[in-house]
Amino acid sequence: MYEPEVTVIVTTSNIVDKNQSDDFTLLVNLLEKQTYPYVELLVIDNASTDGTQVLLKEYKNAGYLNFYSEPDRGKFDGYNRGALRAKGKYLSFLSCDDFYHDITAIADIVNLMEEEEADFCFFPSYCCHPEGYVFQFTPAMLNAFQVMPCPRQAMFFKRSSLEELKFFDEKFKLLADYDLTIRLLLGGYKGVLFDPIAVTCKVGEQVTKHTMQVEAECSHIFYKNYKSFYPMTDEVLDRMVKISEIPKPLLDKLVTTFPPEDKELFYERYQQMYDLRLEAVKNLREQERRGR
C-alpha cells in the first residue's frame, strides 16, 4: 500500500556560532523517533561559514538528512528552495530550534489529512518566548483575517496546494507565513484541525524586536489580499493592523470563506479579538500617560 511521504524543511544559518547546535540535534533525534516511516528531513543552509556544514555532513553521512548550502535571501526564500526540492506529498517548515515532541504526531496528521482530503492541517503548540516563558498557542483559524491564527511550525501543507499558490511570498521577510495562511483560506483550500499538541517552537526574535516592520508587512498583506473586496484606505489599514477592526462590508465577505454553520461563531470570535486588542491599546496608552 502506498504511503505518502512527508518532507520536513528546516533552514539553518551559522547555527554553531549561534549556539543552536544542541537544539538542532534535538530536532533531528526526535524526528528520527517518529513512528511514521516516510519522513524526509531536508535542510536548506544559508552558506554557513562556522562549522554548520560540517555538522550537517555528519548527519547526512549517518542517513538522517539531506542538505543544500547556498546563499539565500532570507528564511522564506530558503523554505521555497526546499519546497522545490522536496519529495513529500506533505510539507512542514521548522526553524532549527523547533521540534516535534509527540513521536506519533506525523503519522496521525498524515492519516487525518488523507481521510479528510485536506490541503493543510493546523494544531496547538507550545511556544517559547524570547523572554524565557512558555505558553500554549491554541489555533484561532476563525480570527485568521485579523491576526496570525497559529505558528507556521504548527501546520502541515499539501505540496500541490502550495505549488498552486506559488509558495511563500518572499517580499515579506517576517510574515510570509501569515500571508500564505490568508491565501489558503481565500482560495478555498480545505483546512483541518488536529487536536493534540504536537510541536514546540520558538517565537522569532525578529518578530518581537521589529514591531514597525511587522506592522508594515501586516498592512501590506491586508491590502494585497483584501483590496478586491473593499477599498483599503490608509485609515482602514491602520485600524485593522492596530486594533483588528474590519469594516462590516469586508467582514461580511470574509465570513463566506468558512462553512455556513461557522458564520455566527466567526462574528463572535471577530468581536472578541477586536475588543481584546482595543482594550490592550487603551491600557498601553494609559500606561504611557502615567509614565510621563
Q: How far apart are CA 268 and CA 241, in angstroms?
A: 19
1 within a domain of the structure (yes/no): no
> According to DSSP H, which parts of the chain are helical?
21-32, 52-61, 75-85, 105-116, 159-164, 176-186, 205-209, 211-226, 234-243, 248-254, 263-290
What pLDDT is recorded for position 2? 54
Verify that 258 and 117 share a domain, yes or no.
no
Answer whether 34's CB lies under 8 Å from 105's CB: yes
- Side-chain half-sphere CA neighbours of 247 within 13 A: 15
**Average pLDDT of each block of 10 consecutive residues along the chain (292 residues)?**
82 94 95 95 96 95 95 94 96 96 95 97 94 93 97 97 98 97 98 97 83 96 98 97 97 97 98 95 80 64
What pLDDT is recorded for position 121? 98
Q: How many domains does the chain have?
A: 2
Verify that 178 and 268 share a domain, yes or no.
no
127 within a domain of the structure (yes/no): yes
CATH of the domain at 74: 3.90.550.10
What pLDDT is recorded for position 292? 59
- Give the DSSP H or E segment for 11: strand 6-12
Verify that 195 and 77 share a domain, yes or no.
yes
Verify that 14 and 56 share a domain, yes or no.
yes
- Residue finishing a domain among 165, 182, 215: 215
- Residue finishing a domain among 194, 215, 236: 215
What pLDDT is recorded for position 250? 98
- Count of CB atoms situated within 10 Å of the CB of 94: 23
Verify that 237 and 148 share a domain, yes or no.
no
Answer whether 122's CB lies under 8 Å from 191's CB: yes
Domain that holds residue 72: 6-215
Verify that 16 and 132 share a domain, yes or no.
yes
Verify that 84 and 166 share a domain, yes or no.
yes
